[in-house]
Copies of this chain bind each other. A is one copy, B any other.
C-alpha cells in the first residue's frame, strides 16, 4: 500500500498493511529548510505564499516518512479573511480587536473561499503534486467553538470564560457568529478536498472546557455540519479536541476518526468509541524525552491497540518544535515495522 492509501484506509477502519503515522504540527518545527525560511519570513508570510507553505509540508513528510503530509496553515485564516486582524506569535494567535458585541459580528465580511483563501488551496495543490502517493494530503480547519472563542478572547485562554459568558448573555449573536464561521469553514474544507486534500482534520482544540450539555448547545450542531461537509466531499474526517475525555462519544458523531489527547487511557477511549477509528494519545513530552522513552510509549500504544483496525498513530497534542527530526523518523519506521501485516490480497507481501 502507498502511504496515502494506508492513511485513508485506516481512517475508514479498513484493512491496512501497517498502521499509518503522522504527527500534529509535524510541518515546521526544527526542520532545517523551515528554520532557514523562518530566518527571513514570519509564519504568516510563509502561510500566504503557497510555494513556501507547500515546501514546509513536503520537507516534513519526506524527512519523517509519515503517511500524511500536513498542510502548513493556521486555523484562524478564515476569520482573518472575514476582516479580523491577526498576529501569529509562537504563543498562539493574537487579535488586537476581539469580538465583544453583536455589532462586531455583523461587521464580519462574507468570504469567497476561492478568492480570499486561494493561497491555501494553491498550497494544497502543490503538496498533493509533490507528495504523490507517498502520503495523503491532510487538510485542516479550526473547530467552530475554538475559532469563535479565539475571536472573542483575543488570544489563548485557559477557560474561555469571556467566550462562554458571551454565549450565555447573547445566545443569538453567538449562533450568528457560529453560523458564519461554519458556513465559511464548510466551503473551505470542501475547496481543500477539490484542491487535493485526502483527509481533513477539524481542530477544535478548546472545546474540552465545555460540559457535555454546553458542548451540545454551543458547539456540536456547528461542528457536525463541518464534519458532514468533509465526508460528503468524499474524504474521511478526523475530529480533534484537547482534554476532551468527557465529550468522547459526542465527538464521534459524524466523524470517521476521533483524535484523543494524552491524558486519557487509550483502552478506555477505544472502548467508549466502539467502531469509530482512533488517532493520537502519544504524549509529546515522552516523544521528546529520549529514544528509549519515546519508543517505549509507542510500544505501549501498539500493545493497547492490539492490532484492531481503524488506528492512526499520532501524538495527543502538537509535537514541540524542538523534537529531533531523527526521533520522529525513527518512530515512523518503528510503527510501520511493528504493525506490518499481510493483507488478504497480497499474502506475505509485507509480513
Contact = CB atoms under 8 A, between A and B. Distances in A.
Contacts of A169: 289-290
Contacts of A263: 208-211, 246
B289 A165 contact: yes
Interface in A181-216: 208-214
B161 A320 contact: yes
A273 interface: no
A251 to B, nearest CB: 14
Nearest to A163: B285
A130 interface: no
A165 B210 CA distance: 28
- Each complex incorporates copies of this chain amounting to 2
B246 A264 contact: yes
A286 interface: yes
Interface string A323-338: 0000000000000000
A161 B285 contact: yes
A343 interface: no
B212 A161 contact: no
A164 B286 CA distance: 9
B264 A211 contact: yes
A243 interface: yes
B293 A168 contact: yes
Instruction: Determine which residue in A214, A246, A262, A293 has the highest number of CB atoms from chain B within 10 A of its CB, and name it.
Output: A246
A3 interface: no
Contacts of A132: none
A265 B165 contact: no
Contacts of A283: 164, 211, 214
B288 A165 contact: yes
A57 B128 CA distance: 62
Contact of A159 (B210, B265, B290, B317): B317
27 contacts: A156-B158, A159-B284, A159-B317, A161-B284, A161-B320, A164-B283, A164-B285, A165-B285, A165-B288, A165-B289, A168-B286, A168-B289, A169-B289, A169-B290, A208-B243, A208-B263, A209-B263, A210-B263, A211-B264, A211-B265, A212-B265, A213-B265, A214-B283, A243-B243, A245-B245, A246-B263, A246-B264
